[in-house]
């Protein structure tokens, strides 16, 4: 019937008929929606993976919708979910994990792949990455996707001119480098933007010190934060002192010149950021800027541990049809192929998530030459030691509010309104109230 009508229409108006036929053909493919948070260049790469998937087969069609930011992707998905209009797949960032896990409104990917008989070698995933997205049983809940970790970027020429020939590995060496740069006439040895992800969370990982009790929240909801320990306070006090001494210069988006731009223009010699910035720095660096990346420093008294994965993973949500799940599973399996992993990492600054993907790239000499040179230092940082209970990750409810408590209090301390110790104590006390409130919201539930 449908076909006859289409044919009639095609006979009647040729152009319109062609359009109808086109849509009739597409209607046979199972459609599913995927909402992602990456935007700009990175968003376009995600869109490209969808196009590649849709062109690679005609059974399924991925409808990929950019939501402009991680925040918005999760916010909009929650709103849509409550109205029953949610996508099958959503890209969710670390801070959205706790609520999603406790809600139970998702389809664990490892289970899904098994249900649809799709073979994935789960042991192929880097433990530092897989652990982050896994249940206490080790089963993966979401599919690792865009993965990053923090690094610092440095201007080789400026450091060499100041007599520093090897990249500082400890904060002690870093301070020497700052002073050497300043003595050499640099007005901005390092562009600093206060950031809880690097200054507190990843800092704790590298030093193997807890961010919160209960193994950073993994073991239960009755958790208290521990980020006001003497080591944390000492580090933030150092940062404040370096700012006061002019070794660090505040460069934030709000101040008009973000740290990355200050580095790109050659004004500042060092800045800290995610490895995801590697591609952007390579693209935007002024002609002749000789730059490198290195692992974030640690204090000499504490042996270095692994950093933890940042970025986001893909979650399958509940309440969809089996056909849609089959389509979503095909898409996730497609993303996990070595070819697609290479496409994604070579077009963004992200790192491969599987050992196989990494080995394939290494064999090709991918990381030997510009623009990808040394980008795999991020993988070395992630895998520096096997993850411990304290360096596996952080699983806290109200994570975004806790981060903002930290930022606000540290801001106050940097502006000289209180000491760093007072600031971190206040932030910890307020964070504990948030955690208690979160535990009460999910009374009687535990992380699966």
User: Which residues here bind another protein, judged by CB under 8 A?
Assistant: 71, 75, 78, 81-82, 96, 99-100, 102-105, 250-252, 254-257, 398, 400-401, 404, 407-409, 411-412, 414-415, 417, 430, 433-434, 437, 440-443
Q: Are strands 60-66 and 310-316 parallel, antiparallel or unpaired?
A: unpaired
**Shortest distance (Å) from residue 22 CB to another protein:** 37
Task: Name the residue nearer to another protein (CB basis): 48 or 436.
Answer: 436
Task: Name the residue nearer to another protein (CB basis): 160 or 318.
Answer: 318
**Shortest distance (Å) from residue 90 CB to another protein:** 12
Cα gap 358→380, rounded to integer Å = 11
Task: Name the residue nearer to another protein (CB basis): 12 or 256.
Answer: 256
Cα gap 427→237, rounded to integer Å = 15
**Shortest distance (Å) from residue 424 CB to another protein:** 13
Task: Name the residue nearer to another protein (CB basis): 28 or 254.
Answer: 254
Task: Name the residue nearer to another protein (CB basis): 66 or 398.
Answer: 398
**Shortest distance (Å) from residue 448 CB to another protein:** 14
**Shortest distance (Å) from residue 190 CB to another protein:** 15
Task: Name the residue nearer to another protein (CB basis): 387 or 398.
Answer: 398
**Shortest distance (Å) from residue 427 CB to another protein:** 11
**Shortest distance (Å) from residue 208 CB to another protein:** 28
Q: Is 405 exposed, middle or buried (0-12, 13-18, 19+ CB in 10 A)?
A: buried
**Shortest distance (Å) from residue 240 CB to another protein:** 11
Phi and psi angles of residue 8, each rounded to the nearest 5 degrees, phi first: -60, -45
Cα gap 323→295, rounded to integer Å = 44
Length of the chain: 448
- Cβ contact 236:410 at 8 Å: yes
Q: What's the sign of the alpha-carbon dihedral 113, 31, 101, 353?
A: positive
Closest CA relative to residue 354, chosen from 90, 138, 129: 129
Task: Name the residue nearer to another protein (CB basis): 230 or 256.
Answer: 256
Closest CA relative to residue 423, chosen from 228, 248, 240: 228
Closest CA relative to residue 35, chosen from 88, 81, 108, 85: 88
Q: Are strands 190-192 and 30-36 parallel, antiparallel or unpaired?
A: unpaired
Task: Name the residue nearer to another protein (CB basis): 231 or 400.
Answer: 400
Residue with tokens 């870093």: 174
**Shortest distance (Å) from residue 289 CB to another protein:** 19
Task: Name the residue nearer to another protein (CB basis): 86 or 304.
Answer: 86
Task: Name the residue nearer to another protein (CB basis): 83 or 370.
Answer: 83
Task: Name the residue nearer to another protein (CB basis): 71 or 224.
Answer: 71
**Shortest distance (Å) from residue 101 CB to another protein:** 10
**Shortest distance (Å) from residue 250 CB to another protein:** 6
Joined tokens for residue 362: 């290494």
């Amino acid at each position: 019937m449908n076909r006859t009508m289409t044919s009639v229409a095609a006979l009647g108006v040729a152009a319109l008929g062609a359009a109808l036929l086109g849509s009739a053909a597409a209607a046979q493919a199972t459609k599913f929606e995927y909402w992602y948070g990456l935007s700009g260049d990175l968003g376009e790469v995600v869109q490209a993976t969808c196009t590649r998937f849709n062109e690679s087969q005609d059974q399924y069609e991925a409808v990929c919708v950019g939501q402009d930011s991680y925040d918005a992707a999760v916010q909009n998905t929650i709103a849509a979910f409550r109205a029953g209009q949610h996508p099958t797949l959503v890209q969710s960032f670390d801070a959205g994990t706790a609520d999603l896990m406790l809600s139970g409104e998702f389809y664990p990917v490892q289970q899904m792949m098994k249900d649809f008989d799709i073979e994935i070698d789960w042991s192929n995933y880097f433990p530092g990455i897989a652990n982050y997205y896994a249940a206490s049983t080790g089963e993966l809940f979401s599919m690792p996707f865009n993965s990053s970790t923090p690094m610092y970027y440095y201007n080789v020429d400026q450091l060499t001119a100041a007599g520093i020939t090897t990249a500082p590995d400890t904060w002690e060496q870093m301070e020497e480098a700052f002073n050497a740069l300043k003595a050499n006439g640099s007005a901005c040895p390092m562009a600093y933007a206060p950031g809880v992800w690097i200054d507190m969370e990843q800092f704790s990982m590298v030093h193997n010190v807890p961010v919160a009790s209960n193994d950073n929240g993994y073991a239960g909801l009755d958790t208290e934060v521990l980020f006001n320990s003497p080591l944390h306070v000492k580090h933030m006090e150092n940062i404040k002192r370096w700012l006061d001494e002019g070794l660090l210069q505040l460069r934030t988006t709000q101040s008009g010149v973000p740290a990355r731009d200050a580095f790109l223009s050659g004004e500042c010699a060092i800045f800290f950021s995610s490895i995801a910035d590697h591609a952007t720095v390579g693209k935007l660096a002024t002609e002749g800027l000789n730059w490198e990346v290195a692992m974030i420093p640690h204090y000499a008294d504490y042996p270095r541990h692994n950093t933890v994965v940042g970025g986001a993973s893909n979650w399958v949500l509940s309440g969809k049809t089996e056909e849609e799940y089959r389509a979503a599973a095909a898409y996730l399996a497609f993303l996990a192929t070595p070819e697609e992993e290479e496409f994604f990492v070579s077009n963004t600054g992200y790192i491969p998530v599987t050992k196989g993907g990494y080995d394939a790239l290494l064999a090709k000499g991918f990381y030997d030459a510009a623009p990808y040179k040394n980008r795999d230092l991020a993988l070395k940082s992630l895998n520096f030691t096997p993850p411990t209970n304290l360096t596996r990750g952080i699983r806290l409810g109200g994570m975004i509010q806790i981060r903002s408590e930290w930022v606000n209090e540290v801001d106050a301390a940097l502006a000289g309104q209180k000491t760093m110790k007072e600031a971190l104590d206040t932030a910890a006390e307020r964070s504990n109230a948030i955690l208690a409130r979160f535990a009460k919201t999910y009374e009687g539930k535990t992380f699966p």
